[in-house]
Every structure is written in C-alpha cells, then in structure tokens.
Structure 1
C-alpha cells in the first residue's frame, strides 16, 4: 500500500515501518571497548583508592606508635616511682633499725637517771637548778626534807650506739655510749618519740637540749 508524501510522491508502507523500527542488542553482541577517556578515569579512580588506603594505613601505624610510646613512657615512670619509693622505704626502715636512743645520765654516778626530766632545762630551773655547757645541775635534797644539802648533782644527755636498745632507768650507762649528740642520726627519746631525723643530709632537730 502506498501513501502520498508531502511532495505528492507515493511512499510504501514497508519503508515507513522500517524507519520507525527499534533495534535491540542481544547476548551475542560483543561489548563496546571503553574509550580512552573512560580508561583514564578508571585508572585515576584506582590510583585515588590506593592512595587513600596507604594514607589510612600510615595513620593507623602512627597511632599505634604513639600508643606504644605512651605505654612505654608510663611504664618507665611507674618503674622510676616504684624504685624511688622502695629506696625511701628501705632507707626509712634502715633509719628505724639504726636509731640512736637519747637518755638522761647522772654523770658522776655513771647511771641512767630515774627521771629523764633531770636533763630538761626548764624542769631543772623550776626546781632550783641551773644549766651550764649542756649540763644540768640539780641540788641534792636531804632525805625526808625539802631542804637541799648544798651539793649538786650533774646530769646530761647520753646517746647509745646506732641500733642499740634504749637503756632502762637506774641501769649503768651503756658501753659505747657518747655524750656528744650525733649530727646526722635518727634519734629517739626515752618515750620512743623521734626528736631528730637523720639521713639524706637532712637533720630535723627538736625536743632535747643535749650537746
């Protein structure tokens, strides 16, 4: 069947149908080769992915190294603190074990005084005595009275050897004792109180007036 066109010419129906027909690609059709631009775009995308992966790996490794340094540093700090604490603890224990005991001695009799206050300057002065050159002088009272006999007894602080036990009142002055106060020693009085702390070149003196 023919139809007239705009110019009056006849056109067959088959030709018109051929121009309006759609073409489909089946499975047997070979895939189209990518263009040069598509290849370059794919290569660039793969390169960006590789760079991102390397950057992430480097960042993770950097974080791991920082954590390791922090842990190592913390371990060193704890180790140093523990070492210092152990050193001071051991030194304190050693100072206690090697403490010097201060006692009041009746110098002429060579005995430990029954009353440690006889070496206390304030106590001695309040009871009619006096101090001179690190020694305390107390008047001797007549038995059964409050009247001094006119004589004086002398008292002064004595110090045991380091680590030696504290002497008992009325006992003989311990062998090896000294009437010179150690300048750098841990000293305890007759009550067990620390009157001087020694060690590490630091001396904390208090309480006694011994020479």
Structure 2
C-alpha cells in the first residue's frame, strides 16, 4: 500500500542516490580467458570466422578492447591455445574409440568415425586446429598436442603390421589423416555433401581407410 502525504503538507519525494555502474573489465568478468575461448569457438563455428578479432570479442563480452591482451599476446596466441585444447579433445576421442574393441578392423572403424564425428560436432575447435596462422606458429605445446593424436594412430597400425617400417607407418597415417580432412573440408564447402550424404560418407570413409591399411572391408 502506498504511503500518502499528510494533509496540509506538500508531498516530497526523495530521489535515491544514483549508483554508478562500472562496465565489466578484464578484472571483473570472472574467468576471462575461458570466456574469450568460448566466444571464439562461437565465431569459428559460424560463417564469419574470418572476421575474428580481439575488438569484436571484447565487444561481445562487454570488456575493454585491451582486456584480452592481459591473457593472450594476440589473436594467434588465443587460436593456438584453442588448437591445443582441440587436439587434446580429439586425442581423448581416439582413446575412447580404440578401447571399444580389441579387433583391429573395428578399432580402425571406430577411430575413423571418431575423427569425422569430432570434426562435425566441434567445428570451432576443428577450425582453429587447421588455420594457417596456427600451423605457422607451431609452438612446442601445439606440436606435442598434435603428435599425441598422430602417434596414437601410428602405434595402432604398428602393432598390427610388424612388416611395416616406422616411415611406412607414418606415411599411411598421413594419408589417412589427409583423406579424412579432405572429406570434412569438401563436405563443409558443399560439393561432397551434395553428392554423398553424411551416412554414405561414413561408410565410404571407413572402406577407404581400411583399403589403405590392407584391411578387408567386409
């Protein structure tokens, strides 16, 4: 119930003091590095990935344009950090896939599907992992993260192909990785997906990878 003014006295209103609000800054945003990464993943997952900039990220998060520089040297530093995370997630996917069966053929099938699934589901990470500026940076941490996934495939092939030299194993792994990356790239661009739906792409990929490794596709 509103309070009414006493009779014969003019009513008075007391204005509450204005509280100054401070725009969020690098020091009032919680975990800004993670927020920057999440915002970057959103951008990289969309059609405007080429427009990514610290200025745009700062605007999205409501922080000053200089705030991101407190945590990452530049845009490349942020992207490299995301690529390291992405390779880590991909390695975890590979580990889970390889543990689904003890049969070599089924392990290769699971790893192929794990790669395609990760690339489609985690578009932001996948884009960061293969950006030219990230590849050019190739920091020790990034190299180590990428090698873990690559080496897992090499180890599996070596265990079931004792007649192959390490160089031959590496060449086959490069061939498989290049083939799958090409499928993802062409499918996203349109030409492949118009000719080969995702379901058929998976079957084609599995058959092709097995053929490369000399495994019966049956």
TM-score using structure 1 length: 0.22
Which structure has more helix as a fraction of its residues? Answer: 2
Greater radius of gyration (CA): 1
Q: Which has the higher contact order (CA 8 A, sep 6+)?
A: 2
More strand as a share of residues: 1
Q: Give me the TM-score of the superposition, normalised by structure 2.
A: 0.22
